[in-house]
């Protein structure tokens, strides 16, 4: 079983009908992620099936308020636990420590102690996470296409939908 689970509605991928997710798996395999298709006809069904997903691959499905606001207190608590665990486990080798310190300097302009970072993680609320999700996922998405496509009409249907 893969470390990460990407949930997607069943049906053709952006690679085209009957595709085996080959382009997607080129990016996902190195990080030990798998794509799981679910036969969900409604947003409610999709939310229920994707509840334990690490990521969503929407394939043309609209990212609705129901999907965005789907995070629960319990899931937020689990995610914060995973972040805390990853942070603490990352202290086990000097390379990870140096990476964390460098990232802290670049992102925040200062060195953040482990205890301060743990406090910041603990202070995050489910409402804050959902607000950020609404802000990021409520926007129009874009896509880049490589290949012999000279017009929107030659794109797979899900990409034509994105292109508008």
- Residues 6 or more apart whose CB falls under 8 angstroms from that of 6 comprise 28, 33, 34, 35, 36, 53, 54, 55, 56, 57
Two tokens at 31? 């990080």
Q: How far apart are CA 46 and CA 14, in angstroms?
A: 19
Q: Answer with the residue of higher pLDDT: 121 or 41.
A: 121
pLDDT in tens, 16-60: 555 677 777 777 787 788 888 888 887 778 877 877 787 777 776
Other C-beta atoms lying within 10 Å of the C-beta of residue 5: 15
Q: Answer with the residue of higher pLDDT: 123 or 104.
A: 123
Tell me what pLDDT residue 128 has: 92
Mean pLDDT of 137-156: 75
pTM as predicted = 0.51
């Amino acid at each position: 079983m893969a470390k990460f689970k990407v949930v997607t509605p069943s049906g053709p991928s952006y690679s085209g009908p009957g595709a085996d997710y080959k382009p997607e798996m080129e990016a996902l395999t190195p990080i030990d992620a798998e794509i799981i298709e679910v036969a969900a006809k409604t947003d409610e069904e999709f939310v229920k099936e994707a509840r334990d997903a690490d990521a969503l691959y929407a394939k043309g499905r609209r990212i609705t308020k129901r999907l965005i606001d789907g995070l629960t207190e319990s899931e937020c608590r689990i995610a914060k636990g995973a972040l805390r665990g990853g942070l603490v486990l990352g202290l086990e080798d000097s390379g990870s420590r140096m990476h964390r310190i460098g990232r802290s300097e670049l992102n925040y302009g200062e060195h953040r102690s482990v205890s301060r970072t743990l406090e910041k993680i603990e202070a995050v609320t489910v409402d804050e996470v959902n607000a950020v999700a609404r802000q990021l996922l409520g926007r129009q998405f874009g896509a880049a296409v490589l290949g012999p496509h000279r017009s929107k009409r030659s794109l797979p249907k899900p990409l034509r939908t994105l292109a508008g």
